[in-house]
Chain A
Amino acid sequence: MSEKKKKSFEQDITGDGINSIKKVVETHNAASEGAIKYVLIGICVVFLFVMLVLPLAVVAVNALKEGWAAYREAVFDEYTIKAFKLTLIAMVTATVVNTIFGIFASYLLSKFYFRGRELLASLIDIPLSISPVIAGLVFILTFGNIGWMGDFLKSHDIKIVFAVPGVILATIFVTFPFVFREIFPVMNAQGKEEEEAASLMGAGGFTIFRRITFPHMKWALLYGVILCAARAMGEFGAVSVISGHLRGKTNTLPLHVEILYNEFNTTAAFAVSSILVLLALLILAARNIVEWKAETKQRQT
């Protein structure tokens, strides 16, 4: 280093910067810090209130606008109950199927190394980035009259499109990756040493899964199941395309809401909606309980 530069460093330490600085008024005081905090919290409260809470309030107010009797009539209407049953069937089937898939797929992708692993993972995610309307369309193009399996199905008298199986298939498609996406990161982070150790000690596949893999991912699994059920319950676009809107036959609750709304029967539409809102809130509550339980469990261990 040159003599001049060395000097510049020495000057730095001999100057008494601190004494001149002490008179500076403190700007970063606690008050401004607190103000920022409350402004930001305020923004969030207003945003969530307008975007999330008000729509729920709209449902509640409009559902009860014509009194309890009208509300009960809409909720216990024959078609509403039928739609509710179909929604439940589609929701349960989709959740079971996707849970089975999610467990096998994440076991495969987290415990084994093979070529094409990344490709497989991104194929599983496809339904997430596809418009639900397209998800419905692909089944019409497969199983419908013009679909390449249409003739085969017709000759065997199997109805998929505009029938219950189509509704279920579309629901499965739209919610396909949900369970997988929740449990895969957890299983992947856990690694595979424990399974390898167990296997070397002679444990069989099912024992390994039940005793070692499963305990690690059970909370994530529950969480994924809840999310999957929520989405399956509310799926609209895909089901709308494939159901044909046959009232009492292929109508799910969300489709029933649409029909009532388009018939200008808004009180009934909101009354049926309120069932779905309640279910959604229940699911959210369950989700939060699961998360909270998982957190406290983690803290204990």
Chain B
Amino acid sequence: MGQQIVKVKNKKGIRVIPGFGLSMGVTLSMLSILVLIPLVSIFISAGKLDFQEFAEAVTSKQVVSGYIVSISCAFFAAFVNAVFGVILAWVLVRYDFPGRRLMDGLIELPFALPTAVAGISLTYLYSDEGWIGALFAKAGIKIAYTRTGITIAMIFVGIPFVVRAVQPVLKRLDRQYEEAAQMLGAGRIYTFFRVTLPELFPALFGGFGLAFARGIGEYGSVVFIAGNIPNETQIAPLLIMTKLEQYKYSDATAIALVLLLLSFLLMLVINSVQIYMQRFSKE
């Protein structure tokens, strides 16, 4: 491997660790072949569409409703996850109780459990005959095959994101901030909202964004409970799937492109907010 020793001047002086060329080569080629080149195909295909075709595909009533369902349900689910995620992280970091380790270990279940399994079992649980669905059915509330059901499935897949984003920050958080507020006479709840929560906010926002993005793109766990009623409970990824099954590749590409740009935009916003918030933590 001796020939791989690259000595290039850079900001930090001379590169002395071997392996630069090799690892750069492996990284770039694997990334290109497995991710970037396939991804570019979607832009190539989209480039072949003429504008009218594209506009028609993404502005049809069904598609617009699909976007709205995906985005609104994902947003609401991410919000619920933000609230419960903070409570969960708080309980896991600050309290000691029997079963804490088990609770901590369970958080990643939505990550490890195949989405299709989660999908059918949530559908069973919340359908009118299901253990939980039946309780609500008595009150005349339908959960499965409505947007409520979609939101619940999205909450399920999003649980780990907020908890795992907030937990390490809370663990590292210096107790002095809370003690300082306490010494100045602030109550527990006031201290939490005015002092602790702002400290957690960048991480919380990042976790919220990831859960939101995951919800928008989620397919497996949502598709069963959604019921796929056109203009009602059809999610955007399902529409792509439907178009593909009908061999309408250009429509599928157009819908996917909008969804793709949307998620890039979302990531951009999250990153910008986090970079902005970082200014406050400069020492």
Contact = CB atoms under 8 A, between A and B. Distances in A.
B23 A107 contact: yes
A227 B91 CA distance: 24
B202 interface: no
Nearest to A237: B219
B73 interface: no
A204 B2 CA distance: 7
Contact of A173 (B10, B35, B115): B35
Given A108-B20, A139-B38, A280 B113 contact: yes
Name A's interface SS.
helix
Name the residue among B30, B97, B112 with the largest chain A CB count within 10 angstroms. Answer: B112
Interface string A121-146: 01110111111111001111110001
Contacts of A123: 31, 35-36
Interface stretch (A7-15, A70-78, A252-260): A252-260
A41 B19 contact: no
Given A231-B111, A269-B120, A283-B112, A137 B253 contact: yes
Nearest to A45: B103
Interface in A165-214: 169, 172-173, 176, 192, 195-196, 199-200, 204-206, 208-209
Interface residues of B, number: 93
Nearest to A258: B116
B39 A138 contact: yes
Interface string B96-112: 01000101111111111
Contacts of A55: 113, 118, 121-122, 125, 156
Contact of A273 (B112, B121, B219): B121
A53 B256 CA distance: 34
A137 B23 contact: no
A105 interface: yes
B183 interface: no
B198 to A, nearest CB: 20
Contacts of B216: 131
Name B's interface SS.
helix
Nearest to A52: B109
B206 interface: no
A202 to B, nearest CB: 10
Interface in B15-51: 15-20, 22-24, 26-27, 30-31, 34-39, 41-42, 44-45
Interface stretch (B53-61, B171-179, B236-244): B236-244
Interface string B208-235: 0010010011111000100000000000
Contacts of A276: 113-114, 117
A261 B42 contact: no
B125 A54 contact: yes
A59 B90 contact: no
Contacts of A90: none
A146 B125 CA distance: 41
A56 B106 CA distance: 12
Nearest to B249: A146
Contact of B114 (A97, A114, A234): A234
Contact of B27 (A120, A127, A284): A120
B272 interface: no
20 contacts: A44-B87, A48-B107, A59-B117, A97-B34, A112-B17, A126-B35, A131-B218, A131-B256, A132-B220, A134-B260, A142-B37, A142-B41, A176-B34, A204-B18, A230-B112, A234-B116, A254-B220, A255-B116, A257-B117, A270-B120
Interface of A: 28, 33, 36-37, 40-41, 43-45, 47-48, 50-56, 58-59, 62, 97, 100-101, 104-105, 107-108, 111-114, 120, 122-124, 126-134, 137-142, 146-148, 169, 172-173, 176, 192, 195-196, 199-200, 204-206, 208-209, 227, 230-231, 233-237, 240-241, 253-255, 257-258, 261, 266, 269-270, 273, 276-277, 280-281, 283-285, 287-288
